[in-house]
Structure 1
Amino acid sequence: MSTPSWLNAGQLVLASNNKGKVAEFETLFQQLNLPVEIIPQGRLNIEDAVEDGLSFVENAIIKARHAAKISGKPALADDSGICVPILGGAPGIYSARYAGEHGNDAANNQKLLEDLQAFRQEGQAIEGMFVCVLALVEHAEDPLPKIFQGIWTGEILDAVRGENGFGYDPLFWLPELGKSSAELSKAEKNQISHRGQAMQLFRQSLTQI
């Protein structure tokens, strides 16, 4: 296979203004050691896209196309969130604005706790999963976006626990580790998280070139 044009371009725009996501991606890309400069869209004064899709895949593609159109460069976008089956998959694509204000982690966590109160039964865990979809477009009208998906399963705690991470990490319990996501180091989280899984698939796609 030939080298993809986004690698030849020398630059790839990361379509996110979320500081937590950007920090995780910068670490993950350092581990990939790619011959390409990763540019968070904020450095190019690109505002967030209007996420009006109905799925993680749709929103990831919307964000990637938005960044590619404004920058004129290839773009990689992440759409991610937490899904709780007992709530019909909510918060889902609305995870970042679940409580109304975009990016208010404390309020979002509190709303999730409140919404789950009626379902809690002693001795029974409430399942949840973090979902990450990455969309890579070579240009704004790329007819074949590359999609990479990671799913991280766990349980939803009844109170926040841990100081690391961001978003719903303090409520995401990993029974096999005996820790919440917010109690993991960055390195530990990146190895097993939904975003880490998606990035591993992204990495594997490059080894097939």
Structure 2
Amino acid sequence: MKKISKLLIGTNNKGKYREIKDLLPKYIKTYSTSKFKLKSPTEDGLTFTENSIIKSKHFSKKTKLICLADDSGLEIDILDKSPGIYSARWGGKKGNFKKAINRVYRELSKKDKNWKHKKIKARFICALSICYLDKKIASVLGKVEGHISEKPKGKNGFGYDPIFVPKNKRKTFGEMSSSHKYKIDHRFIAFKKIKKFL
């Protein structure tokens, strides 16, 4: 397979776009979906992997470019792995993550009033898929284990970053510098696996 020199990053999330662009080899010219004014497809897969393939194929067919798409989210064990593939939807139509984070805390309090005194196990998962038109080139999964912080901390990152503390760390992703976070997060772990296809 010849080296990929042009790649569409299949996301309308600016934070994700930036992180993926920063992780890609510099020789790859990247395009964003917003440049093409593309709407995201209906994500009706049942797993992160299925949804990342749906997005990747959709954006690739629309632009005729090879597309790398990510589907990622937060799984919280005592919430039966919710919000999971619905992580973005918990923020409502506008993808408001303050709202999503409040919902996580509400659901946790319903499950266990004393949750703040316990380590609530959670993980971030990232599925990355590269597709060209209807053909899947690669699909990988990255995970990072951790727990939920008792209150949101830090202004960096995006999404649920302010409430996730990775294993063996004291700070949330929201408190870490992006260069630090990028070296340990779920997207980086998935990237290490997908690099050989780039």
TM superposition shift of 1:204? 3.9
Q: Which runs of 5+ in 2 are unaligned?
A: none
Query: Among residues 180, 191, 197, which one is paired with 1:199 in the alignment?
Result: 191
Counterparts of 2:96 and 2:85 in 1: how far apart (Å)? 15
Deviations 1:71-116 (A, max 9, x none): 0111110000000111111000110111433410100000001100
Is 1:26–2:21 an aligned residue pair?
Answer: yes
How much has 1:122 moved relative to structure 2?
Answer: 6.2
Deviation at 1:203, TM superposition (A): 1.7
**Corresponding residue of 1:167:** 159
Matches within 5 A, 1:1-209: 2-3=1-2, 7=4, 10-29=5-24, 32-33=25-26, 35-117=27-109, 118-119=111-112, 120-121=114-115, 123-137=117-131, 139-142=132-135, 144-206=136-198
* Contact 2:145/2:167 (<8 A) preserved: no
Q: Is the 8 A contact 1:96 1:102 kept in 2?
A: no
Q: SS in structure 2 opposite 1:73?
A: coil
How much has 1:128 moved relative to structure 2? Answer: 0.3
Unaligned 5+ segments in structure 1 are none
CA distance in 1, matches of 2:185, 2:17: 15
Q: Output the TM-score relative to the length of structure 1.
A: 0.88
Q: 1:66 to 1:175 in 2, by over 3 A?
A: closer
Identical columns (%): 33
The one-letter code of the counterpart of 1:133 is A
> Is the partner of 1:179 in helix, strand or coil?
coil
Deviation at 1:200, TM superposition (A): 1.3
- Is the deviation greater in 165-174 or in 122-131? 122-131
- Mapped to 1, the partners of 2:10 and 2:79 lie a distance apart of 29
TM-score (norm 2): 0.93
Q: Which runs of 4+ in 1 moved over 3 A?
A: 120-123
Please, what is the CA RMSD of the aligned residues? 1.5
Note if contact 1:84-1:128 (Cα within 8 Å) is conserved in structure 2: yes
Equivalent-residue separation in structure 2 for 1:122 and 1:52 (angstroms): 33
